Structure 1
Amino acid sequence: MPNLNDLTALCLPTGSRLAADETDCRLSLSLEGQPLPALRLSRGRELNVQLEERFSRPEGQALWTACYWLFARDPDCQRLTWQLQEVPDEAVSSGLLIPTPVSGQYHCERTVFWQLPPPWLGHSLTGSYPQQMLITDGKRHPRRPVKPRGEVYQRFDARLGARVSLRTLDIEQDLARFNRWQNSPRVASFWQEEGSLDQHRQYLSKLVADPHTLTLIGCFDDQPFAYFEVYWAKEDRIAPFYEAGDYDRGIHMLVGEENHRGPHKVASWLSALVHYLFLDDPRTRRVVAEPRADNAKMIGYMQEQRFHCEKEFDFPHKRAALMVLGRERFFDRCRLA
C-alpha cells in the first residue's frame, strides 16, 4: 500500500497525471507535464498557501488541483488557508474557497471539498430533480428520478494506487459473474440467493424495474469485483424500523472476487459507495444498512468508516443491525485520498 508521505505523482479520476515537487515550504505541481503555478507553504496549526506567480491556466482548475494534492497528501489536513491578491470568483462561487474577514484570505475546508461533485460524480440529475410526493403501497415518498446508466462514480485511491469506480449493472454483461458470486458458499451464507442463471436473471430484472432500487457493479481499475444494491429507504422494508428521511439511501453489499477482500479494500470501496450517494443528491442526510446482527466482521468494517449501530431489530428472515452514517459525520471526518 503506497505511503502518502512519499507521493510524487497522483492520478486524477479523469486519468490525467498530477506530479509534484514538494518541500516543507514550497510546492511545484504539473498536470500532464504542463506546469501549474508554484506555491509557498507555511505549516502551523493550519496549512497556509500563497501563490508565487499568476495562473497560466483556468483559475478554478489550478486551485482545485492544488487543493486536491494537498488534501490527498495529508488525510489529517482539515483546512487550507489561501492568500490571494485577486478575488478567485470561480472558486468562491463554486464553494471551493470561502472568503474570510481578512482581505485576500480564503479557506478551503476538507468537508466542503469532497462535497463538490466534479470530477467524482458521473452525469446525474438526481440532485436537481424536483420534489413531488407520491404514495406507493401505502408509503409516502418523493417521486424518484430516472435511473442513471453507465459509470456513475470514479476516484483514484492514493492509498491503494488504484482507480475505484461504480457503474450500473448490465444484465447481459454481468449475469454470469453475479450468478457465480451468489453461488459462492461464502456469499450464500449471508445473501441466501443461490440459484440458476434464469433465477438470477429474474431477480435482477425485478430490481431493474423497481424505481426505488439501483444495482451497481464496483470495479478496481475497471475490473469488476463487487455488487451493490442501493435503495431509497422510505420505500424499502427498512422504513418501519426507523424514522426514514425522504432522501435516506440504503445499501446491500457483496464482494465477489476473493482477491479483493480485506480491510484496506473495504475502506476504499465503502467510502466510495457512501461518497457517491451523498454526492448524487445533496438532500440525502443519511446512508443506512442492515447487515445480519451476527456479521461482526462487516459491522466492524462499517464502524471503521464512521457508521454507528443504532439498534438491532428483527426482519422476518434475520436479526439485523441498523447501521447509520450521517452526511455531516461522513464529510467532517472523511479520510478520502
Structure 2
Amino acid sequence: MTSTDASAEDTLDLHLPAELVASFGDAGHDPAGAGTALARADLLDHVGHWGPAGTSEGAFHLVPVDVGRDLPLVARWMNDPAVAAYWELTGPQSVTEEHVRAQLAGDGRSVPCLGMLDGVPMSYWEVYRADLDPLARYCPVRPHDTGVHVLIGEETHRGRGIGTVLIRTVADLILAGRPACTRVLAEPDVRNRPSVAAFLGAGFRSAGEVDLPDKRAALMIRERAARESR
C-alpha cells in the first residue's frame, strides 16, 4: 500500500476469525432456524429496507438480488466489455451465478443488490462489511465500516453523471440505515478513471492506493461527518 488514511491512528487492521463472525448469529438464533436469516440481515441492517430514495434522476431503490429473477440480467451486464475489464466475470451465466450465490449463501457480510431507478433495474451493487472483508488485511478499517462495489449496467446510463448521483445516494442510505457505521469505503481499480471520478464527485475523498490481490485500487472514503455537515 503506497499510502493510508490520514486518520489511521484511530483505526485498526481488523480481520475477524470465523468464530467471532459466527457469534453474530448466536445472539439471534432460535430453535426453528430463523437465527441464520436474522444474522444475515443484521450484519448490514436490512439493506432491502433502506429505500426508495428520491434523486435528481428519479426514485432509486436497492433491491437484494433474487437469483431466479435477476441472474440473466446481471450476467449480461458482466459480459459487457466495459464492465468485464474490471469485474472479470465474463463467460456463461454460471460464472456470475457462482459469484452471486457465494454471497447469498454466506453469513450476510455482503449483500448483492440491483439498483432500481423508477422501478427499472439499471445497476448492480454489492454492499459489504469492510471490517469483515479481506480488504481489512490491506488497509486500516474501523468497526462497521461499510464498503460498496458498483457497476452501471446499461450503456445509456453511463457518462451522464448518473453514477455520481447514485453513489452519493447509496452512501447516504448506508449512513442513515447503519447508525454504527461512520465511514463508507470503496476500492475501484485505479485504471477505472470514470469510477474514481464518480466517487470523488459523490463526496468521497482519496486515501491513497492499495495493492489488493487482484488489482491496484484507489481507496475512497466517505465520512459520516461530511454527510452531516452538508
Which range, TM-score by smaller chain?
0.7 to 0.9
Moved more, 201-210 or 142-151: 142-151
Specify the code of the residue in structure 2 equivalent to 1:248. D
- Structure 2 residue aligned with 1:200, among 96, 115, 118? 96
Deviations 1:39-81 (A, max 9, x none): xxxxxxxxxxxxxxxxxxxxxxxxxxxxxxxxxxxxxxxxxxx
Where relative contact order (Cα < 8 A, 6+ residues apart) is larger, the structure is: 2
Distance (whole Å) between structure 1 residues aligned to residue 117 and residue 62 of structure 2: 9
Q: Is the 8 A contact 1:215 1:230 kept in 2?
A: yes
> Percent sequence identity over matched residues?
27
> CA RMSD for the aligned pairs?
2.2
Q: 1:135 to 1:240 in 2, by over 3 A?
A: closer
Partner of residue 154, structure 1: 52
Partner of residue 156, structure 2: 259
Partner of residue 147, structure 2: 250
- Structure 2 residue aligned with 1:318, among 192, 208, 215? 215
Q: 1:306 to 1:195 in 2, by over 3 A?
A: same
Q: 1:251 to 1:141 in 2, by over 3 A?
A: farther
Distance (whole Å) between structure 2 residues aligned to residue 140 and residue 170 of structure 1: 24
Query: Alpha-carbon deviation of 1:268?
Result: 2.3
Q: How does 1:19-58 map to 2 (within 5 A)?
A: none
Q: 1:141 to 1:209 in 2, by over 3 A?
A: closer
The count of aligned residue pairs is 198
Aligned to 2:227, the other structure's residue is in SS state helix
Q: How does 1:79-94 map to 2 (within 5 A)?
A: none
Distance (whole Å) between structure 2 residues aligned to residue 274 and residue 149 of structure 1: 12
Q: Is the 8 A contact 1:208 1:214 kept in 2?
A: yes
TM-score using structure 2 length: 0.79
Q: Is the 8 A contact 1:313 1:321 kept in 2?
A: yes
Partner of residue 143, structure 1: 24
Structure 1 or 2: larger strand share?
1
Aligned to 1:243, the other structure's residue is in SS state coil
Structure 1 or 2: larger helix share?
2
Query: Alpha-carbon deviation of 1:242?
Result: 2.4
Q: Is the 8 A contact 1:152 1:167 kept in 2?
A: no
TM-score using structure 1 length: 0.55
Moved more, 300-309 or 264-273: 264-273
Aligned to 2:85, the other structure's residue is in SS state helix
Q: Is the 8 A contact 1:249 1:288 kept in 2?
A: yes
**Ranges of 4+ aligned residues in structure 1 off by more than 2 Å:** 134-152
Partner of residue 188, structure 1: 84
